[in-house]
Each structure stands twice: as C-alpha cells, then as structure tokens.
Amino acid sequence: MPTAILAFNTNNQLAIRRAGASAQLAFTGGDLPETLARLEAAFQAHTGPRAAFTTGDDLQVHLAQVTGEPVDREIHFASIDSLQSAPDALDPVLAGVLAQLDPHLIAIPYLHLGENDFIYKFRPDKERNSRIYQLDDNARALYQSQLCSAIKALSRANERTASAPVPLDFGAVRYLIPSHFGFCLGVKNAIERAYETLAENPGRRVFMLSELIHNPYVNEDLRRRGLLYLQTDKGEPIPDNAGPRLGATNSTQKTARVPLLWDTLTPDDIVIIPAFGATDDDKRRLVRKGIPVLQYDATCMLVEKVWKAARAFGREGFTIIIHGKHEHEETKATFSNARRHAPALIVRNLAEARILTDIIQSDSGDSSVLAAAREKFAATFDGKHTPGFDITRDLQRVAVVNQTTLLMNETLAIIEHLRSAYAAKYGPVEAAARVGGNAKRDTLCYATQVNQDALSLALAEPLDAAIVIGGKNSSNTYQLYRLCEQGLGPRAFFIQSERNIRSLDAIEHYHFPAHGPRVTAAPFENTEIKPLPRPSAPGQPLRILITGGASCPDGIIQQVVAKINSLLPAQTIRPIDAVLGDLERHDKPA
C-alpha cells in the first residue's frame, strides 16, 4: 500500500521536498520498506516509523523523528504553520496529509520515547545544579538558608518518610520546623531548567508557558533575568504590549487589537513547559509553530505518573474521575491527557463526589428521575467533563486519579465514597470491578504527602501559632494551611513572605479564594490583618510552627524567622550561630 513517512526534526519541523515553487512530501513509496529506505538514504539517525493514519486516497502515513541535516539538498525543514500559511505552494497530496495531521501533533516531540518512559526524570543529588541558587546576592537571599540546610541534614534520614520536627530555640521564641518542607524535586528540576535555559541561550527569547511555580518571588527573579511568560496561571494569553497593534493604521491605533505573545512566537524562540505540565492544545500550538517541545518540557514525573495511570484505566474501560480543581494548570493538563483514552470528569471535593453518587444511584427506568439527574449533572459539572459525556453510559465503571497537590485523605475519601455507592447499587462483589484502583496505580505525590505527614507530626506539639508560607495561588500550600487551621483555628496564618509581617500585632493573613468568606480591608484584598498570639503562659517562649509549600524557597523561610526575631527585644533573642550550634550538636552521634 502507498506509504508516506513524515520526518520531523527536534524542532518539530517537517522535512519537505522542494520542487520548484511547490512543497511536496519528502518520503513516499509503494510500501513501508521502500519508503523507509528513502528516509535512511537522507538521514542516518531516525526513530522507527510510527503508524498514524490513512488518508482517503489509501496513503498510509507514518511519523518519525530525525536528527542531523539531510544528505539530499532538495529536502528542507518547515513548520506546519508556515506550510499551511501558503496553501497555493503545497502539493495536493501534502496539503491533504497536513489537513489530517492535527490530532497526531501531540505525539511528534516524543516519538523516541516508549509509553512507559518519562519525559524528564528527577536528577540525582550529584547532578543537581546548585550554582543557579548562588548566581548573585538576589539568588542567594531567595534560595539559601543556613537554618534550613541544617534542619534537612538533621531530620531527613529518608526523603520519603517524615520524622520528628526540629526545634529552633531563639530564647524568647521557639520555632518548630517540620522535617519536610519547601521545594520538592519536581520544582527543583523546573527551576534549574529555567535558569540553565536562560544562561545557555543569550540573545534568544525564552518563554515560560505559564508561571514556572506558584511563587511570585521565584517568578519575578526569573523575569528580572529575562524570562517571559506566554499566559497566566489561569491559561489567559498575555498581550504583547511592546509590539504594534494588529491591523493598526495611524487613525485606528487605539482601537486595533493588541497582539498576543503567542502570535509573535517564531521557531527561534524557546518555550519552557512548567512542572504542572501542559494541555495537548498548548503543545500542538508549539509543534505547529516549529518550536522545540521535548528539550524544554519540565513536567514533573509524578504528574506524568498520574497521566500514565489514567491511560491504563482508560484502556481497561474505566471513565477517569480526576480529583482536582478544574482551573488549576495541573488538572487541566491531566484532563487533557486523560480524555485521549477515556471519558473524563473533574470532581473538586467530597461534596461534589456525593452529588455524583446521587446521580449514579438515580439511574433508573424512570424517565423523569433520569431527566432530573441529567440536569443536576449539567449544573454541577458544566465545563468539567469530556464532550458527549453520558451519565447512563459513562458512569458504569470509574477510576480516580488526582491533582498531586491536594490532601491525600480527601482523595482516599472520594474513592471510598464511590466504592460505597457502587456497593449499595450493585453489591460489594460487582462494585470491586466497577471502581478501579490499587496500590500500583497510586497517583498520590509522595513529596506532597510527606510534607503533610511531617506537618501533622509538628502540629501534635504544643503551639501558640502556625505560619504557612507560599504563593497565593499555590494549591499545596493551601492544603498545608488547612491542616494548621484544623488544629489551631485562627492561630494559623497563610503568608507569602516576611513582608506580610508588619508587626507582632499586624500580620497580613491571606484568605485563599476557595476557603471561607472573602475578607477585604483595602488595599489588602482577600487579606485579614491579625495579631500573632502571645505565649500561653507568662514567662514562656512564644511557640511558632513554620513551614513552606513545595514552591517556597528556603531563603524566605529564614527571612520570616529573622523578621519575627527583629520584632522582639534584641536582648531576649539568641544569635543564629548559637542556634546553628544546637543543630550541629544534635546531628553528632552521642
């Protein structure tokens, strides 16, 4: 059967053959072996051809990735966008192939990977690039902390297992720091990739698809070094305010549309995908523009683990239930991946899971009951499910995966609630086959979980207050705050840095939008000014738990400690060297 191999370079540009002014398919033949031989005559290094689709003219189309320059001088590389922008210059066969290519673009950057391979594995400690955290005084202040380094050396015998919290005795105040806090490996990988990419590509525009991590100080430091952002953390494209307005003349300059940064991208630009991952739509846009994807894809491998579990569940006939926030970048990426393999639905919390099980249990022969269930589903899950989702067909068998930054206990509660509902409807034996999940498919992030476990151990100690540090849009930081609030109520604080501590009587506590009533005290929108509690007994030191979310740099944690210390009488505070000495003595065997 006639065959074509579409050969792409690492910039996702297609190899074409120029015949005069016409662009043609570069590699075609009567069958696959003949076509492959022609590919190998032009490129020594290539991946094995992967079947993609068959055109209406019975042309079998395969995809391959090549490296190096072609031997044949008639072969050139061009982006999909540039080819389709000049349709009159396309051979009809090539034009027909490009018209069917869009669903397959997502595979092109990863043709050399097996389906069980990870895009970007965590670097072992010996391969970490510690230099990027010491580029200058700003980087050192943001990322370096003698206290945090000493705490980690003392308390982290195992990266995946929480241990007892570490006390810091400063005299008038005693801090309690959980064994695990701050940057996870996925965040470290993404940060190092960003700084390295900027350093290795002077003179080129380097973009981040959206926020690198949910920490304003890290993002601002990268922006100061030249990093640009294509869209907000909500996926809203950022305008190119520095460029000319589209369609503008002297008389229409004010009303013409401001172009988006997306519109200005060229194959010379670099776009980094953050640890949260990216949607298929965003990746396809990059591929069409001929921009490298794999080389700058910093998706956390624990997020990718969720995608692989969703794929496996889908192949087994389960509908994928994603426990997550539909507006969060990670959940958007997971939903985008899951929908390739199965119907998918996003459930925010246990309350929504209860609504879902009410709908499942109302599935009966009564048309009015079914109609009411459909209305409830549409009202609750609008914009959170795959197109054409049918509650009678797509809720027969379900399996749960999760946004990695949420509370493990809530994901487990949703799974158990679903199992109970299916058992009530079908009996326990059949329910076991209708609700998927086992230890091998666990999609809970160990880094998120160990931070939560370590915090729980610290919360068991006597405390006057707890301060959780992280970005305002950081989901995992908010989950840590929720644990503190459950134990300490109003004595728990959510802040972004030491700048939120005005005085001991005025701490700017941030109310996460998803939690409780919105508090406004202009100009501190969503912020409540609260006093730090005083010691529970006269003459006792103030006992404060401090932790940071997975996107909180160590330097900010130490700066919070220093700020609180500075607000207490200097003669009552022990010097930091004395506290570091305490830690060093504890670290030595007796």
Helix then strand then coil, % of the chain, to nearest 5 = 40, 20, 40
Q: Are the CB atoms for 435 and 476 separated by under 8 Å? A: no
Closest CA to 297 of 265, 351, 327, 333: 333
CA contacts within 13 A on the Cβ side of 170: 24
Phi, psi values for residue 167, rounded to 5°: -85, 145
385-423 burial code (b ≥16 CB/10 A, e <16): bbeebebeebbebbbbbbbbbbbbebbeebbebbbebbb
Rounded to whole angstroms, the Cα distance separating 296 from 193 reads 8
Note the residue count of the chain.
Answer: 590
Which one, of 355, 483, 358, 473, lies nearest residue 410 by Cα?
483
The verdict on whether 330 is a catalytic residue reads: yes
Which runs of E-coded beta strand occur in 298-446? 319-323, 344-347, 398-402, 435-436
Return the bridge partners of 14, or none: 8, 78
553 phi and psi angles, rounded to 5 deg:
-70, 150
**Measured between alpha carbons, how far is 271 from 240 in angstroms, rounded to an integer?**
16
3-state secondary structure of 197: helix
φ/ψ of 350, rounded to 5, equals -65, -30
Q: What is the 3-state secondary structure (H, E, C) of 40-63?
A: HHHCCEECCCEEEEECCCCCEEEE
Query: Which one is catalytic: 330, 485, 508, 528?
Result: 330
Residue 542 token pair = 């103030």
Give the Cβ contact number of residue 562 at 10 Å.
12
B/e letters for 531-554, b = 16+ CB within 10 Å, e = fewer, are ebbeeeeeeebbbbbbbbbbbbbb
| CB-based contact 231:237 (threshold 8 Å) | yes
Q: CB atoms < 10 A from the CB of 478, how many? A: 26
> Which tokens go with 394?
């797509």
* Phi-psi label, residue 265: left if phi above 0, alpha if psi -120 to 50, beta otherwise: beta
Beta strands, E only, 26-135: 28-29, 45-46, 50-54, 60-67, 75-78
Residue 244 gets the label, from left (phi > 0), alpha (psi -120 to 50) or beta, of beta
As a whole number of angstroms, the distance between CA 590 and CA 570 comes to: 33
Q: Is the Cβ–Cβ distance between 25 and 94 less than 8 Å? A: yes
- Which residues are tagged catalytic? 330
